[in-house]
A and B are shown apart, each in its own frame.
Chain A
Amino acid sequence: MEPEHILSDTETAAIREIYRHFPEKSAACIEGLKVIQQHHRWVSDQAVRELAEILDMSPAAIDSVATYYSLIFRRPVGRNVIFLCDSVSCWIMGYDQIAACVKKQLAISYGETTSDDRYTLLTIPCLGTCDHAPAMIINEDLHRDLTTENVAAILNTYG
């Protein structure tokens, strides 16, 4: 049975618009994955197959690119994605304690999503805000100077 198409006409049009700017269609692969993720929060196998069709590539070739990049999600994520910086300056300034707080509050570990689909917890390399360590990004918001006291309230503001 043919699986249902999941990319909307808008997404398909957006992807076609991108590859027009490149010497070869396949150059739009990463941008295409970004478009899909913007609309679906993650990139499913079916989305990979449909992108492959649009770009005249094999699904395996698309997947090899998709799985290379840490910010393309090949598994579903929650409504809010937490990226906790685990690099050296944050580590010196108390990352371990912050990580323990977050994991305890959400009762999940790295790579997991809460059962209510509210949060996914991930690490991220150095956020380039080391003079305000420890730091994290939630969705697209940067939170700096984290403490074991202020982190819970920050998490709670994301519904």
Chain B
Amino acid sequence: MDKPLTQHIKKDGTWLSLKEYEAVGGYQALKKALTLEPKEVTTIVTDSGLKGRGGAGFPTGSKWATVPMGADAPAIKYFIANADEMEPGSFKDRLLLEGNPHQLIEGILIGAYAIQARFSYIFLRWAYHQAAKAITQCIQEAYEAGYLGTPIAGSDFQLNLSLHTSVGRYICGEETALLNALEGKRANPRSKPPYPTVHGLFGKPTIVNNVETLCNVPLILTNGADWFMKLSKTGEGGTKLYGASGRVKRPGLWELPLGTSLREILEEHAGGMKDGYQFKGVLPGGGSTDFLTEEHLDVPMDYKSVSAVGSRLGTGTIIVLDDKTCPVGMVRNLEQFFAQESCGWCTPCREGLPWTTKLLDGLEKGTGKMEDLDILTFQTHYMAPGNTFCALAPGAMEPLQSALKLFKTDFDRHIHEHKCPWE
């Protein structure tokens, strides 16, 4: 079982019905969880080493453990699956949502049991229409089979689950912004603390987890924490959905042991660069991660190792930069996205991102000056972590700050040649 997360997903684009999911052991993990104390479930997830697959890599079990429990805890708690997947270059949750929604529903049920939540939501981005169909049908099947809506056979635990389809804006994926969107408001992020685990949706304790994170949970319950830990090549448990896009021979998505090297993913799975194109760099985990180059190809793609070389694993979906694509143009495209998607709440982000985009635009048009590079560097400090209300702006600075260092000569050429050398 080297691809436990995706092994049952069918190749024909249809999803597993409840019957099919149950035939491969589906909902057995839930039944097992219900024989344990909620706290024991959390402990198993903690011991497995599972870290959040939504980008920040926060240990899942530790997060669940901060939810108030026991007789004094609020009677209403919420459990939310974050299926907003809007990070540029990320396309991993789509596979799990379209291919096997019951696995996600089972993960939500187990998580909700662990924190004793009564209500749950799947927060889905608008563009995933096929996923919406699949999820709607699977939720209905789960209600009809008695997994949702009524006490599950042999226990007094019961959960309601609804699908919320979003109406756009990348910021909705940020967990506190997501809560505001679910409450029907503008999706500006909330200040933390208080954390959602204590004061979340409608002021109640709330867990928000990424889709891929939750789909791992039934596997951990079934096979145990040790088994999950051993799936990875490093000290962080599990497999990972890795993707590659850009000018590689076989762009795609693969479930591999966590800690597989960048080189193996790009050369063996993505088939190397397309003929006529040379490798120049990658964003290892979506649009808001720092560039890595040739010298980092042997880095294991796990949370610790990628951070150690100055980037982040992020969503684990790699965007490849080739020699025929302008790195300044690529960063400009990213910053324009972040500027457009900023919620506008705090000044550095609201003002800084359009300014950054304008400067990069100037460079591309050939009107850039050397001092623009200093202003761009200033922006990366101005929007560094801690200076803004949420992680959107610091994330936006990651590709820029690394490009300014790694591709300095390319930035300089735009200024000296008064045009984009790639045009």
Contact = CB atoms under 8 A, between A and B. Distances in A.
Interface stretch (B29-37, B182-190, B352-360, B400-408): B182-190
A89 B186 contact: no
A92 B129 contact: no
A130 B337 contact: no
Contacts of B333: 86-88, 91
Contact of B91 (A22, A30, A31, A128): A128
B5 interface: no
B167 A89 contact: no
A157 interface: no
Interface in B146-183: 162, 165, 167-170, 181-183
A129 interface: yes
Contacts of A21: 162
A88 B330 contact: yes
Contacts of B287: 87-88, 126
B252 interface: yes
B243 A27 contact: no
Contacts of B283: 88
Nearest to A129: B91
Interface stretch (B15-23, B81-89, B302-310): B81-89
B330 A70 contact: no
A61 to B, nearest CB: 9
A129 to B, nearest CB: 6
Interface string B329-348: 11001100100110000000
A126 B246 contact: no
A114 to B, nearest CB: 23
Interface string B102-144: 0000000000000000000000011111100000000000000
Interface stretch (A6-14, A100-108, A131-139): A131-139
B184 A92 contact: no
Contacts of A64: 186
B202 interface: yes
A151 interface: no
Given A127-B127, A131-B252, A89 B88 contact: yes
Interface stretch (B40-48, B317-325, B375-383): B317-325
Given A89-B245, A92-B246, A126-B86, A71 B167 contact: yes
B169 A68 contact: yes
B126 to A, nearest CB: 5
Interface string A29-61: 111011000000000000000000000000000
B28 to A, nearest CB: 30
A127 B89 CA distance: 9
A124 interface: yes
Nearest to A32: B184
A93 interface: yes
B337 A88 contact: yes
B88 A70 contact: no
A124 B184 contact: no
B184 A65 contact: yes
Given A87-B333, A140-B129, A128 B169 contact: no
Nearest to A29: B184
Interface string B84-102: 0111111101100000000
A125 B87 CA distance: 9
A130 B91 contact: yes
Interface string A110-147: 00000000000000111111111100010011100000
B176 to A, nearest CB: 15
Contacts of B183: 27
Contact of A70 (B169, B252, B325): B169
Given A88-B319, A92-B325, A128 B184 contact: no
Nearest to A88: B88
B349 interface: no
A155 interface: no
A68 B243 CA distance: 31
A29 B185 contact: yes
B77 interface: no
B247 interface: yes
A26 interface: yes
Given A26-B184, A142-B127, 14 more contacts: A21-B162, A27-B202, A30-B181, A65-B184, A71-B168, A88-B287, A92-B247, A92-B320, A93-B245, A125-B341, A129-B91, A131-B243, A131-B245, A137-B129
16 contacts: A29-B185, A30-B181, A65-B185, A69-B168, A71-B168, A88-B88, A88-B287, A88-B330, A91-B329, A92-B247, A93-B245, A125-B170, A126-B90, A128-B128, A130-B251, A131-B91
Interface of A: 21-24, 26-31, 33-34, 64-65, 68-72, 83, 86-89, 91-93, 124-133, 137, 140-142
Closest 8 A-B residue pairs measured CB to CB? A130-B245, A70-B168, A131-B251, A71-B168, A29-B184, A89-B245, A27-B184, A69-B167
